[in-house]
Chain A
Amino acid sequence: MDEKYKDGYVEKNYMEAFDGSGEEIGEEVLNYFEELFSLEMPLGRMMKMMPGMFKYAKRGKKYRKNLMNFAPEMMPMMKDAIKDAVGLGNKEERGV
């Protein structure tokens, strides 16, 4: 083929860009979505949020007070997360 026409889009096509079958790729993407949009709050996820809150609180007294306003809303979530992590089986599967 003439060098001039050798753009990527004629050399390869999208079917060669994936490793798995359509079903497998679909499954991978769905798993990703499931994790992304999950409303569950396992301890691991909770822990990932801690540095952000810590950084915020470190800024001063006013900020700490502001953060404490949210404590009543956050406590039940935290309790659930810890209970889940301590109480139930396979930790790896729960992302802890």
Chain B
Amino acid sequence: MLEKANDWSDTFYDKWKPIAMGFVNGAEKCLQCGKCTGQCPAAAVNPSYNPRKIIYDLVNGNIKRVLSSVELWQCFFCSGCFATCPVDINFPFFVFMLRLGAMSQGFGWEDVKQLEKYAEKDYLQDGITVSPEERNPYVIEERGDIADIRQKAGMPRQREVSDEAIAEINMISDLSGMTNFMKKIGGVELYDCSKCTPKIEEKCKSKELPKKVGNVKTHYRFYNYGVPIGGADNA
């Protein structure tokens, strides 16, 4: 099926700018020079991820391609693109907003689902934002476990947060709607299992994926910006 340029939403980007209260702007200045992609660590690992192309689609209103892409979920907010951009486009902010938009259209919930345990256990129960389980093996090898270092320095192995502060965090979570959001994530199911291949099934078994619980469905996403090196299975 060929892409149809008259299916693009001409007004999307212009209408979006005031809603985002000025945090999302400047994309129309993009020269398509590719300086962002050249320095992008995520693009270095997976070349199908490409900030330049996402900006292009956004300005031209090809919102369908952006929202349904796998690539939208490959940014990890290092902000190198923002630092290097010759016209000062804050691309990580675009990614942040577009991910919310993608989720409203039912894409990408499985990626968010993977953060659930950190949000529930580490953030809401213990009140810390860096999980002790989520340690870089390279750092552990080179520098040692941070918990050990803390202990040696005479501190508790894990940062202790007062009950009061944890209660406050929980209230903030309630007030800001995060608790509600978490309930939704609990109900994520993978939608497109009918398209499953033996290879993907294998992967599914080795890596825990969300179970069917509730009512939010997540759609199959596409490699809209090129197939990663080694094929989709390799992503």
Q: Number of A-B pairs whose CB atoms are under 8 Å?
A: 118
Interface size on A, residues (CB 8 A): 37
Q: Which of A24-77 contact B (CB under 8 A)?
A: 25-30, 32-34, 36-37, 48-49, 51-53, 55-56, 59, 62-63, 66
A-contacting residues, B169-187, CB 8 Å:
170-171, 173-175, 177, 179-180
B68 CB within 8 Å of chain A? yes
A36 to B68 alpha-carbon distance, docked (Å):
20
A59 to B165, CA, bound (A): 12
Contact pick for B171, options A8, A16, A27, A56, CB 8 Å = A56
B9 at interface, CB cutoff 8 A: yes
In the complex, the chain A residue whose C-beta lies closest to that of B198 is A3
Contact A26 B164 (CB under 8 A): no
Bound complex: CA A48 to CA B174 (Å):
9
CB contact list, B185-235 vs A, under 8 A: 192, 195, 197, 219-220, 222-224, 227, 231-233
Taking the closest CB of chain A, its distance from the CB of B107, in whole angstroms, is: 8
Chain B: how many interface residues by the 8 Å CB criterion?
50
Q: Summarize A's interface: helix, strand, loop or mixed.
A: helix
Q: Tell me whether A90 is interfacial, beta carbon within 8 Å.
A: no
Chain A residues positioned under 8 Å from B8 (CB to CB):
22
Contact B174 A52 (CB under 8 A): yes
> Nearest B residue to A58 by beta-carbon distance?
B167
**Shortest distance in angstroms between A40's beta carbon and chain B's nearest beta carbon?**
13
Is B21's beta carbon under 8 Å from chain A?
yes
**Which of B68, B97, B232: most chain A Cβ within 10 A?**
B68
Verify A25–B179 contact, CB threshold 8 A: no
| Contact between B174 and A55, CB atoms less than 8 A apart | yes
**Binding stretch for chain A, among B12-20, B82-90, B122-130:** B12-20
Q: Which residues of A contact B61 (CB under 8 A)?
A: 22, 26
B contact residues around A26 at 8 Å (CB): 9, 11-12, 15, 61, 63
Name the interface residues of B2-43: CB closer than 8 Å to any CB of A.
3-4, 7-12, 15-16, 19-21
Task: Report if A23 contacts B (CB, 8 A).
Answer: yes
Query: When A8-B232, A12-B220 are in contact, do A22 and B62 touch as well, CB less than 8 Å?
Result: yes
